[in-house]
Structure 1
């Protein structure tokens, strides 16, 4: 236990040293190139041609994997600390826009598959597992929350009643519009479109168009309609 705590503290010191020294170096001073060179020794895995802009914060880098051609822009926060089984995996060519917060809590796996775009000012939070498929487009100000607070006892503060965690799955080739909220336990099927501002509280079948609060399917995008 002591060795594990020492290892964790040492890792955090390395993260702080590297990110403090290089984290705010602008592009004009070869910041992305230097970060790519040094950060590769911190992450569990890191592919080639990774671009990390200045102002990005990483926590628990030994549990973070970046594929080839990943782009991470200003003021993004990736937090995998807090549990040895936590893992954040960004596959090849994932792009994370500015001010995105991706965080684990306990025993959490967050996986974003190839060629998916995560827009600005998005929050993606465990502790339930979150899997986002290939070629997805997630528009700005979306929230994806794989947890729910218990509140059945009115005599006890809600923050002491614990949480539930079921996980979230977003299939390949989905488009979530501006300001969508995806709640715990939801699966959004492949090829679906979720309209701006919708709150997804139940499963959405593949190739559906869903809008509203709560989100309801208004049309199908099945293969016959597309031919």
Structure 2
């Protein structure tokens, strides 16, 4: 991932920023138009500071990002003004305007929301928005843990696993977390019929990592059992 830039020390005063200049950003192949207060977006993103300070010719007519997905940018714009990402997936899908998934109360809806947040993690890194990047990362991680005591809560939906192993760097801590959760928190009853159908699409490297993780866990359990019985176990 890109190096994280230094974060600005003082946030803009909204009453002043909203009286200032409006900049235009066009998102996705359909070039959906967004009008955003310049002082706010430039404060939080080094990328957009560079875009709108006159160095780019297109900054006078707006910046176009055809390879950015509209739902991801919707989450980003919500964060720009609210400085939060909801912790529940239904709210995330609603503010992302992912209407086809909002009404679904199943693993497809949850899996899409997980991937959406992971895409926000990448967006924050790519567009040099460290606070948004960190919050999106923490939103994904925290959903899989019980806050009190940080006890393991659940394994990760296969939709997110498949996307993450195809798109995140191989050294990403999120990939490590997915393997750890699958090796420690998963049980067969976790998988409904839709998840069972996705098993054949799971990445080879994920399955091998889970296998090695479970072997390590079993070895450690055997050592603990031997120690409890006063016996010596071969490593």
Answer with 1 or 2: which has the greater Rg. Answer: 2
TM-score range relative to shorter protein: under 0.3
TM-score after normalising by structure 1: 0.27
More helix by share: 2
Q: Which has the higher contact order (CA 8 A, sep 6+)?
A: 2
Instruction: Compute the TM-score of the two structures, normalised by the length of structure 2.
Output: 0.27
Bigger fraction of residues in strand: 1
